[in-house]
Amino acid sequence: MRAATPGVSTVRSTTSSTVRCVVASRSNLWRGALLVGLIATVGCSHRHARPPVTSVEPRGSVHDYVATGQFAKARQVAFRNLDDARDSRNPSAIARAELDVGEVMMRLGEHETARRYLFAVDGRGSARERQTARAFLALSYHRAMEDALARTYFERLEPTLVSPRVWPEVERAFGSIAPRVVRADVQPRTAWGAAPFRATNADPMGPITRITVHHTAIAADTTSIADATSQMRSIQRTHFARGWAGIGYHYIIDSAGRIWEARPIAYQGAHAGNHELNRGNIGVSLMGDFEQHHVPKAQQDACAQLLLDLCSRHGVRPDEVKGHCDLKHTQCPGAHLARLLAELTPTRTAIAQAKRGHSVPIAASGGGVRHYHTVVRGDTLSRIARRYGVTLTALRRANPGTSDGLYPGNLIAVP
């Protein structure tokens, strides 16, 4: 955050308007999810043939049948529960039942069906149900040998929110495909709906020699993708209003540790305070107010990973990684983050090692996937295909099982 003076009053006014904005977008999302849910309920009803009703209906719970490997019974109970939940029109009961159906179908190897139900949960369940649905999506892609997508879901999981019944299995499955040298996984500007960068209003970056770490000074939880992307757009509006070419920082890290590309690295930033300070200087900002709050662990890890990646990629020396307050008189990046910075900055040895393992390109997890699009309300597969200039067929092939419903926050692989 630019702070010509200590600038606390500016920060306060930004805070309240952003919080309002986040709250408003949340309630809209919820309404949207409800609407989509209703449509999906009507549209999907009985599309998947229920197994024939046997004379003796199984009476146990889905999870007990899963635990004992009785998948046919688990499937029968799961679909029966889903019908009951739909009759009750209770959205959380529907989400829970869909989660069970998704799990059972995943375990039966019917991945397209499984994903259809799991995507639906991802759009409307509680935080725990959404995370658990994503864990099952990760397992589903893993079992289908689609490791790039599997890893993308796995890396975005919050272990404490995934059902403890499921987490150990997920962790075991992904031990085998975790890459040895982890490159920072940067979400491209398209993933948060960036407006075109006003390049005529910016200087070229030139040789990169340093990195400055900031905080956004906005105390808001951006753990969900919807909140994080909404905040990216909000920061963009604020920085456009200052007459800048786009967001002043190059990268922004949200509360869950996702890294978002903010300003193309080809252009000099607007973050350190003046032209001289911005020259050859990459701006990295962490969402949050770390004068007030501690830095979440996931965000710390992502910051360390990004700094390592940037230092090795651009040849920046560790002593050129600084907090904003080291360059000028400001509270940025906040006392809590400033104290951590030495720990998050890579050592010379780590940089040398990362350079040798320089194989996985940034913002690409391989598997022919160029990037991931985060679904926003109103998206359709054909609209996404048009936006990225790919054919609908190619997009469908890269995302089996998503054709029946797109939910805000889903990740769509763009080939």
Omega before residue 333 within 30° of 0, cis: yes
Using the minimum distance from each CB to Zn ion, give the nearer residue, 1 or 85: 1
Whose tokens are 């940089």? That residue is 351
Shortest distance, position 286 Cβ to Zn ion, whole Å: 10
Query: What is the DSSP-derived secondary structure letter of residue 293?
Result: S
Half-sphere exposure of 246 (CA within 13 A, CB side): 26
Dihedral of the CA atoms 382, 376, 143, 37 (nearest 10)? -100
Shortest distance, position 363 Cβ to Zn ion, whole Å: 24
Using the minimum distance from each CB to Zn ion, give the nearer residue, 245 or 252: 252
Q: Identify residue 8 by its one-letter amino acid code.
A: V
Using the minimum distance from each CB to Zn ion, give the nearer residue, 277 or 390: 277
Shortest distance, position 192 Cβ to Zn ion, whole Å: 20
Shortest distance, position 294 Cβ to Zn ion, whole Å: 18
Using the minimum distance from each CB to Zn ion, give the nearer residue, 1 or 114: 1
Shortest distance, position 330 Cβ to Zn ion, whole Å: 6
Using the minimum distance from each CB to Zn ion, give the nearer residue, 208 or 284: 284
Listed residue (253, 256, 252, 187) closest to 223, CA to CA: 256
C-alpha distances out from residue 274 to 198, 282, 331, 402, Å? 19, 13, 17, 47
Query: What is the DSSP-derived secondary structure letter of residue 181?
Result: S
Listed residue (243, 222, 246, 227) closest to 235, CA to CA: 246
Q: Is 344 helix (H, G, I), strand (E, B) or coil?
A: helix
Instruction: Transcribe 26-44 into DSSP letters.
Output: HHHHHHHHHHHHHHHHHHH
Using the minimum distance from each CB to Zn ion, give the nearer residue, 102 or 333: 333
Using the minimum distance from each CB to Zn ion, give the nearer residue, 98 or 291: 291
Using the minimum distance from each CB to Zn ion, give the nearer residue, 183 or 263: 263
- Report the run of H or E that residue 225 belongs to, with start and end: helix 225-241
What's the CA gap between 244 and 174, in Å, rounded?
42
Using the minimum distance from each CB to Zn ion, give the nearer residue, 11 or 33: 11
Shortest distance, position 108 Cβ to Zn ion, whole Å: 52
Helix residue ranges, H only, 59-192: 62-67, 71-88, 91-107, 111-124, 127-143, 147-155, 167-175
Shortest distance, position 214 Cβ to Zn ion, whole Å: 3
Shortest distance, position 337 Cβ to Zn ion, whole Å: 10
Q: Is 260 helix (H, G, I), strand (E, B) or coil?
A: strand
Applying CB under 5 A, which residues contact Zn ion?
1, 214, 324, 332
What's the alpha-carbon Rg for the chain, to the nearest Å?
23
Shortest distance, position 271 Cβ to Zn ion, whole Å: 6
Both structure tokens of 391 = 């054919």
Shortest distance, position 88 Cβ to Zn ion, whole Å: 51
Using the minimum distance from each CB to Zn ion, give the nearer residue, 283 or 408: 283
Strand-strand pairing, 411-414 and 210-215? unpaired
Q: How many other C-beta atoms lie within 10 A of the C-beta of residue 43?
A: 11
Q: What angle do CA 44, 45, 51 make, to 5 degrees?
A: 110
